[in-house]
C-alpha cells in the first residue's frame, strides 16, 4: 500500500508543483488537496492533474475544524503549504496572516492528535531567521522575523515544536529559500516584473534594489520536501537553499534582457518597510540526506521567464488583479 498524502494549499504556487511531483511518485496512492482558493490559489494551477484518479480536491479552510477534519482522515502524510504568503500584504492586513498561518496551523495540529498521521510536514520559510548580514545560518539560529508574515510563520514553527514535545505530533519543519518557477501568482517579484515588462510598464524596485535573495528552483524545493517526508527525522528542522544569491536589480535586468526590453524600464520606488536585506541558509543537514539542487540557475531562470511570457493572456488577467493591490484598491 502506498502513502495517502494531504497537501494543504495545493492550488498555490509551490503546492501545485508538489502535487504534480506526488502524482508521478509510485509510492503515493492518494493526493488529497485542501485549499480555500483565496486570491492566490487557482484550479488553473492544477488543470493537468485534476482528472488523475489519485487526486482529490476539497475546497476548505485549514482554520476551520469542520473543513480540515474530514480532509485529514485516513492520511499518512500531511504537508501544510496553506498560508498567506505575501510580505507586502502582511503589512496591510496582518490579521489574515495570524488567522491562516497561526490559527490554521493550530487547528491542523489539534486534528493530527486525533487522526495520527505518520508525518506532519510544516512548510516554513528562511524569512523566520530575519535578515542575515553575512554568512549563512543553520537550523539552530535564533528566529528574528521582521514582518507580520515572517512572524506568523515563526509562530507556527513554535506551535509545531510545542505539539511535538507535548502531544507527540510527528512534526518536521522545512525552511526554504525564495522559490522561482511556473505557476507563481504575479504579485511576487519575478512574475510581476515579467508581466509589467510585457505590458511596457516600469519595473518598480524597492529601495536601492540591492536586497539579496537566494533563488531556489521550485522543483528542487519539491524534491527536497519529498525526500524529507521519506527519509527526514521527526522533530527535525531542515533548511533548503540553492546558493544562488542575487540582488533584485540583477533579477530585473535579467528579465528585461530575456524579453529584449530596455534597462531604463527599471524604476526605484519607496522601500518596503522593514525590508530584509539578505537571506542565506546553510543546508548541510538536508545535503546529508542526499539532496542537492540540480537546477542550473541561468537555464531555469530563462525557462521560467519564457513560461510566463508564453502565457501572456493568463498573466495579464492575474496581473490585473494583483496590480489592484499595489494601487491600494
Interface with ligand NAD by CB under 6 A: which residues? 8-9, 11-15, 34-38, 40-41, 61-63, 81-85, 100, 104, 123, 125, 153, 176, 178-179, 185
Q: Shortest approach of ligand DAU to residue 59 CB, angstroms?
A: 22
Whole-angstrom Cα distance, residue 188 to residue 88? Answer: 9
Q: Is residue 38 near ligand DAU by the rule CB under 6 A?
A: no
Which partner in ligand DAU, ligand NAD, none is near 195 (CB below 5 to 8 A by kind)? none
Q: Shortest approach of ligand DAU to residue 188 CB, angstroms?
A: 4
Q: Is residue 325 near ligand DAU by the rule CB under 6 A?
A: no
Q: Is residue 243 near ligand DAU by the rule CB under 6 A?
A: no
Q: Is residue 16 near ligand DAU by the rule CB under 6 A?
A: no
Stretch that binds ligand DAU, among 42-50, 125-133, 159-167, 227-235 (CB under 6 A): 125-133
Phi then psi dihedrals of residue 85, to 5 deg: -115, 0
Which partner in ligand NAD, ligand DAU, none is near 206 (CB below 5 to 8 A by kind)? ligand DAU
Under the phi-then-psi rule, with left for phi > 0, alpha for psi from -120 to 50, and beta for the rest, what region is 328? Answer: left
Q: Shortest approach of ligand DAU to residue 151 CB, angstroms?
A: 12
Q: Is residue 219 near ligand DAU by the rule CB under 6 A?
A: no
- Taking alpha carbons only, the member of 25, 73, 79 closest to residue 49 is 25
The neighbouring-strand residues paired with 268 are: 205
Cβ(255)–Cβ(197) below 8 Å: yes
Q: In terms of CB distance, is 11 or 169 closer to ligand NAD?
A: 11
- Taking alpha carbons only, the member of 329, 201, 318, 210 closest to residue 271 is 210
Under the phi-then-psi rule, with left for phi > 0, alpha for psi from -120 to 50, and beta for the rest, what region is 135? Answer: left
Outline where 168-217 has alpha helix (H): 189-199
Neighbours of 294 (CB within 10 A): 10
Q: In terms of CB distance, is 213 or 311 closer to ligand DAU?
A: 213
Q: Is residue 174 near ligand DAU by the rule CB under 6 A?
A: no
**Catalytic residue at 127?**
yes
Q: Is residue 244 near ligand DAU by the rule CB under 6 A?
A: no
Q: Shortest approach of ligand DAU to residue 30 CB, angstroms?
A: 27
Q: In terms of CB distance, is 72 or 160 closer to ligand DAU?
A: 160
DSSP, residue by residue, 275-317: ---B--B--HHHHTTT------HHHHHHHHHHHHHHTHHHHHH
Stretch that binds ligand DAU, among 23-31, 67-75, 103-111, 122-130 (CB under 6 A): 122-130
Whole-angstrom Cα distance, residue 160 to residue 157? Answer: 5
**Catalytic residue at 185?**
no
Q: Shortest approach of ligand DAU to residue 145 CB, angstroms?
A: 10
- Taking alpha carbons only, the member of 48, 66, 46, 65 closest to residue 57 is 46
For 251-269, letters b (16+ CB in 10 Å) and e give bbbbbbebbebeeebbeee
**Catalytic residue at 217?**
no
Give the residue nearest to ligand NAD (CB): 12
Residues marked as catalytic: 126-127, 149
Amino acid at each position: 500500500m502506498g502513502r495517502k498524502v494531504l497537501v494543504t494549499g495545493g492550488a498555490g504556487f509551490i503546492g501545485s508543483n508538489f502535487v504534480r511531483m506526488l502524482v508521478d511518485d509510485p509510492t503515493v496512492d492518494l493526493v488529497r488537496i485542501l485549499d480555500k482558493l483565496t486570491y492566490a490559489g487557482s484550479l488553473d494551477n492544477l488543470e493537468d492533474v485534476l482528472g488523475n484518479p489519485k487526486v482529490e480536491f476539497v475546497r476548505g479552510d485549514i482554520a476551520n475544524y469542520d473543513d480540515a477534519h474530514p480532509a485529514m482522515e485516513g492520511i499518512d502524510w500531511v504537508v501544510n503549504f496553506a498560508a498567506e504568503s505575501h510580505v507586502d500584504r502582511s503589512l496591510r492586513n496582518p490579521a489574515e496572516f495570524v488567522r491562516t498561518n497561526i490559527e490554521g496551523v493550530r487547528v491542523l495540529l489539534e486534528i493530527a492528535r486525533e487522526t495520527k498521521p505518520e508525518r506532519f510536514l510544516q512548510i516554513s520559510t528562511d524569512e523566520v531567521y530575519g535578515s542575515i548580514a553575512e554568512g549563512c545560518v543553520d537550523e539552530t539560529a535564533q528566529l528574528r522575523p521582521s514582518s507580520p508574515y515572517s512572524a506568523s510563520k515563526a509562530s507556527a514553527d513554535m506551535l509545531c515544536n510545542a505539539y511535538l514535545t507535548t502531544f507527540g505530533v510527528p512534526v518536521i519543519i522545512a525552511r526554504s529559500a525564495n522559490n522561482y518557477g511556473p505557476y507563481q501568482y504575479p504579485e511576487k517579484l519575478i512574475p510581476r516584473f515579467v508581466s509589467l515588462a510585457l505590458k511596457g510598464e516600469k519595473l518598480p524596485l524597492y529601495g536601492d534594489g540591492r536586497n539579496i535573495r537566494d533563488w531556489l528552483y521550485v522543483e528542487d524545493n519539491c524534491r527536497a520536501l519529498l525526500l524529507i517526508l521519506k527519509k527526514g527525522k521527526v522533530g527535525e528542522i531542515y533548511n533548503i537553499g540553492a546558493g544562488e544569491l542575487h540582488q533584485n536589480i540583477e533579477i530585473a535586468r535579467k528579465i528585461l534582457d530575456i524579453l529584449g526590453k530596455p534597462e531604463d524600464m527599471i524604476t526605484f520606488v519607496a522601500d518596503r518597510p522593514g525590508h530584509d536585506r539578505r537571506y542565506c541558509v546553510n543546508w548541510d543537514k538536508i545535503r546529508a540526506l542526499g539532496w542537492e539542487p540540480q537546477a542550473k540557475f541561468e537555464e531555469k531562470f530563462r525557462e521560467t521567464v519564457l513560461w510566463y511570457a508564453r502565457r501572456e493572456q493568463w498573466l495579464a488577467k492575474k496581473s490585473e488583479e494583483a496590480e489592484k493591490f499595489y494601487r491600494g484598491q
